[in-house]
Structure 1
Amino acid sequence: MSWVEKSLDEVLKLEYGKPLDKSLRKEGGKYPAYGANGIKAWSDEYFHDEETIVVGRKGSAGELTLTDGKFWPLDVTYFVKTNKNDYDIKFLYYLLLSLDLPSLATGVKPGINRNNVYKIQAKFPSYSTQKQVAGQLDKAFDGIEQARTNTEKNLQNARELFDSYLQQVFSECGEGWKKTTLNELCTKFEYGTSSKSSQEGEVPVIRMGNIQDGRIVMDKLVYSLNEEDNQKYRLNFNDVLFNRTNSAELVGKTAIYKSEERAIFAGYLIRIHRNEKLLNADYLNFYLNSPIARKYGEQVMSQSTNQANISGTKLKTYPISIPVSLEEQQSIVDKISTLKEKVEELEATHKSKLTALDELKQSLLQQAFTGQLTQG
């Protein structure tokens, strides 16, 4: 039987979810309550009692969740109703996945108008062919998901290898080493500019978002038009910047400025003025991004709602083990840098594989809904 083209409003209806009162939410409840991108709560009450598809309506608009049995769709969702004698739910799930519904979202808080979904044209085979297609995609996607899990584990292992090496290096304190604090090795802990930035200009302002994996990333820049600030906070080659305010997971991330170009730094960052006769800049940068420094940061940070802070005063107290010899510090930096390069090569390989797996899923969906999986 050939595939017949229909608009989605001929095939399914997107029904509105419903608010779930706090009094009905229960940890350990019998039934899941779905938000726009998955389970958000549990309850002993349910709103719908059949397997279907929850579609994100607001927020994570267009995200899909395949349900199993009784559940409650929250008011930021739609859920699918269809004639199950004619249409297989799994087939519809994969079809909707292939249509990239998130691209239909509009507004400041992204939302999807169901009428725009209804207008979409798609082709539908017989019910038995729908079941066949869904079964083939189930099998293929299971294999892809297992490959993704393995690749993500390998990616995590590569990162843990590097962290383990940093932990080993900065735990040393043998002959020719000393234990001290940053306060003993540095002369000043300087906060950056608090002046308002501009979207255009010539002097970029390095902000916390520009600190990525120990480096300064020059994207999503804002600019300083304040000439006094441009002189006072001008960055120098090898300046080390510490992120003093951020989420608890990210506060304390550090990067080193490796440029001669004019730039200044924002108030949520601290420039560490080190005694160059005592402390190598790259050694300091690697140390502050190490598990040892992150653990100490967790102990001294102050926290409020969604935000953590490590002040300059607390930064001074960070304990650090260093070789007294700058030559030995540089030797350690060279070894860490070599390992970092190898780890980054591994990470790039694993990330490339993850991208390829995502592309394979899209290719399979495209083949499925042009009838290619059931030919022959």
Structure 2
Amino acid sequence: MEKIRLGQMIEVQRGYDLPKNKTIPGPYPVITSTSISAYHREYKAKDTIVIGRSGTVGNPRIVRGKFWPLNTTLFATNLKGNDIEYMCYFLSNLHLEKLVTGSAVPTLNRNDIYPLEVLIETDVSKQKKIGALLKSIDSKISNNHSICQLLEKVVKLIYDYWFLQFEFPNEEGKPYKSSGGKMVWNEELKREIPEGWKVGNLSNNELTKIIKPGIDKFEGTKNYLETADVTESNYTKGEEVTFENRASRANMQPTKNSVWFAKMKDSVKHLLINEEMQPLIERSIFSTGFLGLQCSSDSFEYIATYIKSEYFEKAKNKLAHGATQQAINNSDLRGIKIVIPCDEVLTEFHKRFKSIYSLISKKTIENKELIDMKDFLLPLLMNGQVTISKN
């Protein structure tokens, strides 16, 4: 470990301007501070580190292949022989967003990066070991996420087939509607649904009940999750709070077989709480920015898939209201229709997909533990408090 200026370890430069009217479709991604904005026929960099320069600042990441770094980024032009994985993790541990200038549009200047005096590992062989360890954790997180996405696609495909096309298996195991299953007209939906099925709304139906605010008194601390702590169906650490010092919004109690979603318009965030999520139930409380639906054990998978559907998000966004931040409230759920299947089909869906949702929950919990482990190890590895043995 040596204490030297960061500019001795890496060189970066500002990304390139590329107005929309100058973008020519091609194979190379245009990399912004957060994502890919377009694809262009030319490239300016390849296989290097990109840092958010303006708007969203910091967030170092490695971009593989050839690409066009946009002017909202800084990108590494010379790693000076250092390991790319190690340098990316090292930069992320510096929290470069603290160096921003400008109030209207936060901006990171490379001239503010170079003079930073840092304690850093200069032995490349040791860099590679540290980078490989942290990369292995990130790879496991990414693999788990990919598995969950694949399983969710499978569930959605079957859900659409059963509950939108009404081709669930009949008593003979054949698709219901196309095999002549009886359909009846429903005036609320303005379409036919299977005989014996009903239509309700999310405020009043036989499958769910709205969870009211209020939490049980607890000793010690719990993890308070706001909507900002959730991305899709994954969650981060949140804030440790006591019962007495918690914010007034920290007032929702997670329960087994409950489905939660963010109230705000265009905020696609879900927490699906089955029995595998017991660690979350025991350790967490939620913000009132979430709305929760208590399900039965048989209805959980159906409601969870419904809440993650495009139909639900569109209906939620349409009903959202408010002067500053548009959102829905409990009463608005009366305007969101839901088909209530017969008991036999609901139970069959539960039996077939309980194991899939169980696996998704296990992977979600595992990812949370891996993220916590990485967050714990990262600063210790970067400042030399923890080292990796030769073995």
Structure 1-normalised TM-score? 0.52
Identity %: 19
Where do 5+ consecutive residues of structure 2 fail to align? 172-194, 206-225, 234-242, 250-258, 273-287, 321-325
- The correspondence for 2:199, drawn from 148, 171, 181, is 181
Q: Please give the alpha-carbon distance, in whole angstroms, between the structure 1 residues aligned to 2:261 and 2:385.
A: 53
1:68, 1:283 → 2: CA distance? 44
**2:339 maps to what in 1?**
319
Q: Which residue of 2 aligns with 1:98?
A: 93
1:17 aligns with 2:15: yes
Kept in 2: contact 1:167–1:292 (CA 8 A):
no
1:359 paired residue among 344, 367, 375 = 375
Q: What is the letter of the counterpart of residue 17 of structure 1?
A: G
Q: Secondary structure at the match of 1:246?
A: coil
CA RMSD of aligned residues (A): 6.0
More displaced, 135-144 or 339-348? Answer: 339-348
Instruction: Map Cα deviations across residues 276-330 of structure 1 (whole Å, 9 max, x no partner).
Output: xxxx9869985983435765945984978x99999778635x331356xxxxx9x
Displacement of 1:44: 2.0
Aligned to 1:276: none
Once the two structures are superposed, residues 265-284 of structure 1 have per-residue CA deviations (whole angstroms, 9 ceiling, x without a partner) of 99x99xx9xxxxxxx98699
Letter in 2 for 1:5: K
Shift of 1:16: 2.0
Deviations 1:211-269 (A, max 9, x none): 999xxxx98757xxxxxxxxxxxxxxxxx999897338569x9xxxxxxxxxxx99x99
User: 1:190-229 residue pairs with structure 2 within 5 A?
Assistant: none
Deviation string for 1:141-160 (max 9, x for gaps)? 44323432444466669989
| 2: CA distance, partners of 1:292 / 1:116 | 49
- Report how many residues are paired: 293
- Is residue 88 from structure 1 mapped to residue 107 from structure 2 by the alignment? no
Following the alignment from structure 1 to structure 2, what is the Cα–Cα distance between the partners of residues 302 and 123? 50
Query: Which consecutive unaligned segments of at least 5 residues does structure 1 have?
Result: 188-207, 223-239, 254-264, 273-279, 324-328
Q: Distance in 1 between matches of 2:50 and 2:307?
A: 43
Q: Distance in 2 between matches of 1:50 and 1:168?
A: 43
For the pair 1:291 / 2:288, whether they are aligned, the reply is: no
Q: How much has 1:37 moved relative to structure 2?
A: 3.0
Contact 1:94 1:134 in 2 (8 A): no
Supply the distance in 2 between the matched residues of 1:366 and 1:245 (Cα, whole angstroms).
38
SS at 1:289 equivalent: helix
1:39 counterpart residue number = 36
CA distance 1:371–1:24, shift in 2 (3 Å): farther
CA separation of 1:346/1:169 partners in 2, compared to 1, >3 Å: closer, same or farther?
farther
Residue type of the partner of 1:88? N
Task: Return closer, same or farther for 1:44/1:220 CA change in 2, 3 Å cut-off.
Answer: farther
Is residue 2:57 matched to residue 1:61?
yes
Amino acid at match of 2:265: N
Amino acid at match of 2:39: W
Q: What secondary structure is seen at the aligned counterpart in 2 of 1:147?
A: helix
Alignment match, 1:246: 265
